[in-house]
Structure 1
């Protein structure tokens, strides 16, 4: 395998891995955002403010 071909393969794989990492990060952020807007979380924080510990 020539060095040029090897370099192209490395560049292509790097691009694929970065794309996968971005997709994973976006999915994780969307999941966290969904959880932060869930009604259960809001109820707990509301009761925490109304009923002092």
Structure 2
């Protein structure tokens, strides 16, 4: 493979990895948000039931 094509392929792979990492980060942050909401609801439910 010539150097220019190799470089282009490397750039494409790097951009794909960055995109996948960003998606994973967003998914993790969304999961954290849901967990904290659940925790707050359960604390509120305990408070209301007492």
In structure 1, the gaps of 5 or more residues are 48-53
1:5 aligns with 2:13: no
* Dislocated runs of 4+, deviation >3 Å: none
User: What aligned pairs does 1:1-53 form with structure 2 within 5 A after superposition?
Assistant: 1-38=1-38, 41-42=39-40, 43=43
Q: 1:26, CA displacement in angstroms? A: 0.1
SS in structure 2 of the partner of residue 28 of structure 1:
helix
CA RMSD of aligned residues (A): 1.8
In the TM superposition, what whole-angstrom CA distance separates every residue of 1:11-53 from its partner, at most 9, and x where no partner exists?
0000000000000000000000000011xx2218x77xxxxxx
Q: Equivalents in 2 of 1:10, 1:33: separation in Å? A: 35
In structure 2, the gaps of 5 or more residues are none
Report how many residues are paired: 44
Give the structure with the larger helix fraction: 2
